[in-house]
Amino acid sequence: MTDPETATRQRLDELLSRFNAAERSLGYPCNLDFDYSALLPLLDYSLNNVGDPFHDSNFVTNTHEFEREVIGRFAGLMRLPPDEAWGYVTNGGTEGNMYGIFLARELFPDGIVYFSEDTHYSVLKINRVLNTRNIMIKSQDSGEVDYDDLRESIRVNRDVPVIFMANIGTTMKGAIDDVSRVREIFDDLAITRRHIHGDAAFSGMILPFVDDPQPHTFEDGFDSISISGHKLIGAPIPCGVALTRKEYVARIARSIEYVGVMDTTLSGSRNGLTPLMLWLAWERYGIEGFHALVTEMLAVAAYAVERFNGLGIPAWRNRNSATVVIPRPPPDVVEKWQLAPYQDIAHVITAGHVTRDLIDRIAEDLAAARAAAAPA
Amino acid sequence: MQRIIISTKNEVGVIAGITAALAGRGINIQSLDTEGVGEHGMVIITTDDDDGALMALSNAGYRAVADDALIVRLVDEPGALAKLSARFRDAGVNIQSMHILNRHGGHATIALSADNLDLARSLVDADAAI
């Protein structure tokens, strides 16, 4: 009979074997190249970042100091001056998006949330949880919001504040909503009560490092932005950052103070380890490292489009995107490469761990599947 | 009992897939109707377990909504949704949510919830309501 300790270890070893045997995922926007082993000694502590990272905490084993540094780094990328910036490390993109919509709803309680049909499905949950009125807008074939449809929908409700959730890289096509055009619509319709939140889960870490980025910063008109940490940067635990202007949070904080709580974040207890991971990633990459990473990712994406097209596969990608859109392959290819299909398409995402060799290998599978499906 | 509307491709095996997904959870279909527009279709069912059916269909990868949403089919052209919104606004109906279920064959299928669904339903052209 196996003793309990051995059985426990065997169970974990089996799990590890299964993970090791799988091909590296090509369908999800998560960089699998990371090393946070320097943080292993911290696992002996009960880390908890409960509360606002910019306020004092009674919980001694917190990492607020590192969290503030991380927020400062991301704020700098998004052109938000340090003395105007506020944010915290979230459990991932959805919490960051929820924070942005929560903030907007607190500022404009009667506002309507507008978002395109290519927006991540979690926006539906967020609107339900926050009980915010919401209207889905058509997308263009590229995945970008249909500006005419947005304009007409806002025009009908022009007396109501507008909360626009902009995609800085849609989930399936990597499309980026042009907030300069969105702001033109607001101005044309004299919409003064407005809030633009950016879902920059993956591409929020691409655009700051390209030569000709689409609008994506606070200077471009965003009021809040959510960026994922476990995606482009890579981490073993989902994480991200919510960023906004300090003055907005100060208004919310005042309202929360009435119920005796000054915690301006959404969670109570918060992860104290993930701020350290993001801090370590910033220490290791720095601006130059991230620039090199993004340059290589986009080069591999360009290579993938060229390689797939060369085999007769009609692949394409949006500008400044590492998301390569392909026709939906058969289930065996989807499963082998852990692709994420939706309706008639799927995508290959050239995250940091994706090499040209991996692209060549999936290209062969895609071509073989295409040949097998062709009429005799 | 609610109607459950499933937005799906209009192809062989869809009904079999839906019934299998529900049977696998021990849920009985009490009525079933279909509507097809080109490549796309709607399957409208009632069952003996609304919540269970929605869960089973969702887990099986179907896009299904319950009848507390008003389902409308519109011509997919610029401003079509806005015109509908304007009609509701003028009648004093507040839209809580308006979501696009699918866009195919020149039509868009919309699911919306509102503070007065009966009034909203009465404002929709008879041939547009599902």
State how far residue B78 is from chain A, nearest Cα, in angstroms.
6
What is the distance between the alpha carbons of residues A264 and A250, in angstroms, rounded to a whole number?
9
Question: Residue A152 and residue B98: Cβ atoms within 8 Å?
Answer: no
- Write down the residue that tokens 């960023």 correspond to: A243
- Confidence (pLDDT) at A256: 66
Are residues B103 and A133, on separate chains, in Cβ contact within 8 Å?
no
Q: Summarize pLDDT for A134-158 with one digit per residue, the tens.
A: 999 999 999 999 999 999 999 999 9
Mean pLDDT throughout A42-70?
92
Task: Name the residue with higher pLDDT: B130 or A277.
Answer: A277
Question: Distance (Å, rounded) from C-alpha A75 to C-alpha B8?
Answer: 43
Q: B interface toward A at CB cutoff 8 Å?
A: 76, 78-79, 81-82, 85-86, 89, 94-100, 103, 108
Q: Which residues of chain B make contact with A153, given a CB cutoff of 8 A?
A: 81-82, 85
Res A41 pLDDT > 70: yes
Q: What is the pLDDT of residue A260?
A: 59
Taking a C-beta distance cutoff of 8 angstroms, is the pair A71, A243 a contact?
yes
Mean pLDDT of A336-345: 90
Residues in chain A: 376
B43 token code pair: 């399957």
Tell me how close the Cα of B54 comes to any Cα of chain A, in angstroms: 16
pLDDT at B72 over 60: yes
pLDDT recorded at residue A85: 97
Three-state SS for A240? strand
Q: What pLDDT does residue B71 have? A: 85
| CA A283 vs CA A62, A82, A286, B8: distances in Å | 19, 19, 6, 48
State how far the Cα of A53 lies from the Cα of A264, in Å rounded to an integer: 9
pLDDT the model gives residue A205: 97
pLDDT at B36: 67
Residue B105 clears pLDDT 90, i.e. is over it: no
- Contact across the interface for A133 and B96, Cβ inside 8 Å: yes
Q: What is the CA radius of gyration of chain A?
A: 22
B81/A134 CB distance under 8 A: no
pLDDT exceeds 90 at position A55 = no
Of all residues in chain A, what percent carry a pLDDT higher than 70? 97
Neighbouring CB atoms inside 10 A of A142's CB total 17
Interface contacts A/B by beta carbons within 8 Å: 48
Asked whether the beta carbons of residue B78 and residue A146 sit closer than 8 angstroms, the reply is yes
Round the average pLDDT of chain A to a whole number and report it: 94
Q: What DSSP designation does A214 have? A: P
Q: What is the pLDDT of residue B37?
A: 61
Does residue A1 have a pLDDT over 70?
A: no
Q: What is the pLDDT of residue A26?
A: 92
Give the model confidence (pLDDT) of A167-217 as tens digits: 999 999 999 999 999 999 999 999 999 999 999 999 999 999 999 999 999
Give contacts of B108 with chain A, Cβ < 8 Å: 138
pLDDT at A258: 62
Strands, DSSP E only, in chain A?
85-90, 112-116, 133-137, 162-167, 194-199, 224-228, 240-245, 323-327, 345-349
Better-predicted residue by pLDDT, A224 or B28: A224
Contacts of A232 (CB under 8 A, 6+ apart): A29, A31, A202, A204, A205, A206, A293, A294, A297, A351, A352
Chain A: nearest CA to B1, how far in angstroms?
22
Among A52-61, A267-276, B63-72, the range scoring the smallest mean pLDDT is B63-72
Number of C-beta neighbours around residue A365 at 10 A: 15
Phi, psi of B47 (to 5 degrees): -135, 180
High-pLDDT (> 90) share of chain B, %: 15
Quick check: helix, strand or coil at residue B121?
helix
Q: Which residues contact A304 (CB under 8 A, 6 or more apart)?
A: A315, A324, A348, A350, A359, A363
Query: Using a CB-CB distance cutoff of 8 angstroms, which residues of chain A are in contact with residue B111?
Result: none
Round to whole Å and give the CA distance between A321 and A344.
Answer: 20
- Could you tell me the pLDDT band of residue B33, with boundaries at 50, 70 and 90? confident
Nearest by CB: A133 against B79, B97, B108: B97
Q: Which residue of A124, A133, A153 is in closest CB contact with B81?
A: A153
Joined tokens for residue A370: 């295409």
Determine the pLDDT at residue A24: 76
Q: How far apart are CA A87 and CA A74, in angstroms?
A: 9
Distance of CA A335 to the CA centre of its chain: 23
- Whether the pLDDT of residue B39 is over 90: the answer is no
The residue written with tokens 């995606």 in the block is: A231
Q: Inter-chain contact B95–A153, Cβ cutoff 8 Å?
A: no
pLDDT band with cut points at 50, 70 and 90 for residue B8 = confident
Measured between beta carbons, the chain B residues lying within 8 angstroms of A148 are 78-79
Q: Which residues of A have a catalytic role annotated?
A: 321
**Above 80 in pLDDT, residue B98?**
yes
Query: How many whole angstroms separate alpha carbon B35 and alpha carbon A24?
Result: 42
- State mean pLDDT over A255-263: 64
The answer to whether residue A261 scores a pLDDT higher than 60 is no
> What is the average per-residue pLDDT within A94-118?
96
User: Mean of the pLDDT values across residues A340-346?
Assistant: 89
pLDDT bin (cut points 50, 70, 90) of residue A262 is low
Separation between Cα atoms, residue B86 and residue A67, nearest integer Å: 46
According to the model, what pLDDT value does residue B127 have? 65
Which region among A31-35, A321-325, B122-126 has the lowest average model confidence (pLDDT)?
B122-126
Helices (H) and strands (E) in chain A, counts: 10, 9
* Per-residue model confidence (pLDDT) at position A105: 96
Predicted confidence (pLDDT) at residue A254 exceeds the cutoff of 80: no
User: Which of B62, B24, B55, B20 has its CA nearest to residue B41?
Assistant: B62
Mean pLDDT, rounded, for A95-103:
97
CB-based contact A100:A264 (threshold 8 Å): no
Best of A110, A114, A132, A135 to mutate (most B CBs within 10 Å, chain B): A135
